[in-house]
Chain A
């Protein structure tokens, strides 16, 4: 099946610094990728939809200047958490839609971000 990877799997950073998370589709092309965040024991909340070659679409309440998304190629989207604060600590998960399977999304393993 289709594989999506995320890097890093875990990251610890200090308040005020920026962190970049990569999401890659390994064996398929994805014009659209999605970014979710998940707090402990809660569900996944869609943050933004990332479209290759264009600006991301952010969900209501998600600060686009804080969570920078770049989808530079058909296999890579990045999420940069800028000026991170402890409340940004969360589990971030990306997913990618396979061009060949319009409605099916494949999820990455997630990135655990801890801001100290």
Chain B
């Protein structure tokens, strides 16, 4: 069964704008990871945030984690057309469960 739900399911923005995607999950976690997937391709690991962390940055990516609300957000700043992809959150533990994903389209 799936663990999380991403919101929104689809997001379309212009190049240069920021994109924010949210993820909610149901059970306790050890960590939460964000992945991207280009159409028909494998997963690319973006960032991992541990349950005792609240915020993490990596380049143009900013991830927050609120364990009290069981939610996380992924912010992509200054988006580029190449950021067009599906983005998934996944909760880690004994096994990893994925949310439904957000399909991001960045228009040039």
Q: Interface on A for B, CB 8 Å cutoff?
A: 1, 6, 34, 36, 41-46, 49, 59-60, 91, 93, 95, 103-110, 112
Contact = CB atoms under 8 A, between A and B. Distances in A.
Contacts of A43: 2, 88, 98-101
B45 A107 contact: yes
Contacts of B94: 49
B43 interface: yes
8 contacts: A36-B98, A43-B2, A46-B96, A49-B94, A103-B93, A104-B31, A108-B42, A109-B41
Given A44-B88, A59-B1, 17 more contacts: A36-B98, A41-B103, A42-B100, A42-B101, A43-B2, A45-B2, A46-B95, A93-B42, A103-B50, A103-B93, A104-B31, A105-B92, A107-B35, A107-B42, A109-B41, A110-B42, A112-B40
Interface in B7-48: 30-31, 33, 35, 40-43, 45, 48
Nearest to B51: A103
A84 to B, nearest CB: 20
A112 B40 CA distance: 8
B80 to A, nearest CB: 23
Interface of B: 1-2, 30-31, 33, 35, 40-43, 45, 48, 50, 88, 92-101, 103
Given A42-B100, A43-B101, A49 B95 contact: yes
A93 B30 contact: no
B76 to A, nearest CB: 19
Contacts of B35: 107
Contact of A106 (B30, B45, B50): B45
